[in-house]
Amino acid sequence: MSIRSCGAFRKVVLMLFRTYLFRKITDAFITALMLLAVVTALIPLVSILWHTFRQGWSTMNWSFFTHLPKPVGEPGGGIANALVGSGLLILLASAIGIPFGVLVGIYLAEFNPRGLGTAVRFTNDVLTGIPSIVTGMFVYALLVVTMGGFSALAGGVALGLLMIPTVTRSTEEMLKMVPQSLREASLALGATPTQTILRVVLPAALPGILTGIMLAVARVAGETAPLLFTAFGNRFWSLRLDQPIAALPLQIFTYAISPYRDWQNQAWGAALVLVGLVLVLNVFAGLAYSRASRFRR
Amino acid sequence: MSQGMTVKNLFAWYGSQPVLKGINLTILPNQVTAIIGPSGCGKSTFVRVLNRLHETIPGARVAGQVYLGEKDIYAPGVDPVLVRRKIGMVFQKPNPFPTMSIFENVAAGLRLNGFARGRLNEQVEKSLKLAALWDEVAQRLDQSGVALSGGQQQRLCLARALAVSPEVLLMDEPASALDPAATLKIEDLIRQLKSEYTIVIVTHNMQQAARVADQTAFFLNGELVEYGPTAELFTRPKDQRTEDYITGRFG
């Protein structure tokens, strides 16, 4: 090749790289990078699940689920009271978190007055970020001190306060996703704004709202810090609202930091149960959402 | 027989933006009045002012009088909810309620008014027949409203609007999202319905206005340019702008 055609050749090659091939290679490279990021992000998640499963599986038996904890030194015992206690706490939390969360969410999405709406939304967003232990301290001052002792009620209230901002936010988002045309159709029939919300908008957003509630419950089921000085934990059966109550996360905490091997194993078992519960709630929430919204637009 | 509507000195704004400027118009009872004009001329806004839907948009404002028969629907103390029960609306994109069955969609307006439970069946059937949908859905009234075709959904919305027995029926480009066959069905229905209702139809399709409307109003930039019997407006327009629009010089 002569020198002149070399220059032209180089130009062509450069042009080619700047167009098709170069773009293809860059595309493949970035895709590989993203896949690598996905795998990297999944590794800790999968390893937590796997490790918990491996460590906790050995303690899974019928007596684990049906017996009370045994004193130190005695083998065996279970998490029965922690399971029931967690259940009760979740029920109490939901009784507070769901009504308030949904109603405030409706208020923000449907009424949204100019100043107050912004203020409420901002406050809610700040509250989603409040460390759960601070909420626990607040309930400690509010209920534990005034009632003179730890109680299931205090634990339920603390968890309920944690639920409200999450449920509010997801309810508002789901309601905003309902197309405005549906509200107009309802208003055009001569419905009041309240009737429109209750009969048209809320039912349309219901799958999403329920999913949001289930996810909030899943989050709250595993909260430990606020329970440390509200529900406090209990080694015996108790369903009383004015007495301390056992809870799965508390049991895990007590057992995991203990020096006894048997207790540590049981902590893994309880952790597996908790993870299983959260997993089931998430999967259930996702399934329910996709099933319920299959035929909606 | 239903009532007509009279619009006097109507102004409307979105925030500070004027959309309608001094509209004066009389809509004759039991006739079809078409509103035509280029995009953005205010025809949809005008129709939404007629059933007090415009004010539900934050920042929207209305000034002037709108009479249904003898009563000003914008008089202070008038409940917009009651106004909307007398003036129904069908929208451009069919919007049946997705969480309700076909039956429940048509009955929705009736249930709001506390209609007697026993008589619901009868009224739903009557409305579906008026909308020429009964034969197609009689066997599947409990199926979801969104499982129908576009044209069927629009007729369902029409049945829903008719079920509450309004005096005036507003239709905002009801056929523009539909295929030609469904469009013709809707136009047939409009011709049949005018004996019972006063109908106002917004359309960007001039041929449609020529086919169905008794009176036509031409809007441009928020003003009413010309209004008169359809045949006259299209063959002997009085305003140059009207002529320009219908001959396709703009729009």
Residue A169 lies in a domain: yes
- The answer to whether residue A2 sits within a structural domain is no
Q: Is A124 within the bounds of a domain?
A: yes
Residue A3 lies in a domain: no
Mean pLDDT across A11-35: 87
Say what the pLDDT of residue B222 is: 94
Tell whether A38 and A122 lie within a shared domain: no
Q: Give the pLDDT band of residue A295 (cuts 50, 70, 90).
A: low
**Contact criterion met (CB < 8 Å) for A190 and B147:** no
How much is the ipTM here?
A: 0.92
Q: Do A98 and A16 share a structural domain?
A: no
Both A34 and A20 in one domain: the answer is yes
Taking CB atoms and an 8 Å limit, are A295 and B113 in contact across chains?
no
The dihedral sign for the CA sequence B195, B198, B204, B210: positive
Partner-chain contact B97 A186, CB within 8 Å: yes
Q: Are residues A44 and A74 in the same domain?
A: no
Predicted TM-score (pTM) of this structure: 0.84
Q: CA-to-CA distance for A89 and A232, rounded, in angstroms?
A: 12
Report CB contact under 8 Å: B56, A187. Answer: yes
Question: How far apart (Å, rounded) are the C-alpha atoms in residues B45 and B18?
Answer: 11
Q: Output the pLDDT for position B19.
A: 95
Could you give all domains of chain B from N- to C-terminal order, each with its CATH number? Answer: 5-246 (3.40.50.300)
pLDDT of residue A20: 82
The predicted pLDDT at position A289 comes to 79
Q: Is residue A1 part of a domain?
A: no
Chain B interface test: which of A178, A187, A189 (most B C-beta within 10 Å): A189
Cβ-nearest to B84 among A179, A189, A203:
A189
B contacts of A185 (beta carbons < 8 Å): 91, 95-97, 157, 160
Host domain of residue A150: 62-292
- Regarding whether A131 and A23 lie in a shared domain, the answer is no
B204 touching A, CB under 8 A? no
The total domain count for chain A is 2
The answer to whether the CB atoms of B164 and A189 lie below 8 A apart is yes
Determine contact: A246 vs chain B, CB below 8 A.
no
Query: Which DSSP category does A57 fall into?
Result: G
Q: Is A179 a member of any domain? A: yes
Q: What is the pLDDT of residue B250?
A: 80
The pLDDT, as a whole number, for residue A293 is 67
Same domain, A98 and A20: no
Confidence of residue A290 (pLDDT cuts 50, 70, 90): confident
User: How far from chain centre, in Å, is Cα A68?
Assistant: 28
Residue from A93, A214, A111, A127 nearest A172 by CA: A111
> Residue A96: which CATH number?
1.10.3720.10
Q: Which residues of B50-83 are buried (b: 16+ CB within 10 A; e: fewer)?
A: bbbbbebeeebebebebbbeeeebbeeeeebbeb
Q: Pick from A18, A35, A59: which residue ends a domain?
A: A59
Per-residue pLDDT tens digits for B106-159: 999 898 877 777 888 999 999 999 999 999 999 999 999 888 999 999 999 999
- Which residues of A, range 186-205, sit inside 8 Å of B by Cβ? 186-192, 195, 199-200, 203-204
Both A27 and A99 in a single domain?
Answer: no
Same domain for A33 and A70, yes or no, is no
Q: pLDDT by residue (tens digit) across A82-113? A: 999 999 999 999 999 999 999 999 999 999 88
Residue A9 has pLDDT above 80, yes or no: yes
The Cα of A127 is separated from the nearest Cα of chain B by a number of Å equal to 28
User: In this structure, what DSSP letter does residue A71 have?
Assistant: P
Put simply, the answer to whether A181 touches B95 (Cβ < 8 Å) is yes
- Whether residue A166 sits in one domain with residue A44: no
List helix spans (H) across B165-239.
180-193, 206-212, 230-235
B183 and B213 Cβ atoms separated by less than 8 Å: no
What is d(CA A107, CA A105) in angstroms, rounded to the nearest whole number? 5
For residue A77, count CB atoms less than 10 angstroms from its CB and return exposed for 0-12, middle for 13-18, buried for 19 or more: middle
**Chain A residue numbers touching B115 (CB-CB < 8 A):** none
Which residues of chain A does B146 touch, with a Cβ-Cβ cutoff of 8 Å? 295-297
pLDDT in tens, B28-80: 999 999 999 998 899 999 999 999 999 999 889 999 999 999 999 999 999 99
CA A105/CA A286 separation, integer angstroms: 21
A91 and A13 within one domain: no
Query: Residue A297: is its pLDDT beyond 50?
Result: no
| pLDDT higher than threshold 60 for residue B97 | yes
Residues A115 and A238 in one domain: yes
Q: What is the pLDDT of residue A19?
A: 81
Please, which pLDDT band fits residue A114 given cuts at 50, 70 and 90?
Answer: confident
For chain B, give the percent of residues with pLDDT over 70: 100
Q: Who wins on pLDDT, A261 or A177? A: A177
pLDDT in tens, A62-80: 888 888 888 877 777 888 8
Q: Mean pLDDT of all residues in chain B? A: 92
* Residue A3 confidence (pLDDT): 61
Per-residue pLDDT band for A21 (boundaries 50, 70, 90) equals confident
Find chain A residues with C-beta within 8 A of B93's C-beta. 181
Looking at the structure, tell me whether residues A38 and A134 fall in a common domain.
no
Query: Distance (Å, rounded) from C-alpha B48 to C-alpha B209?
Result: 19
Return mean pLDDT, chain A: 90
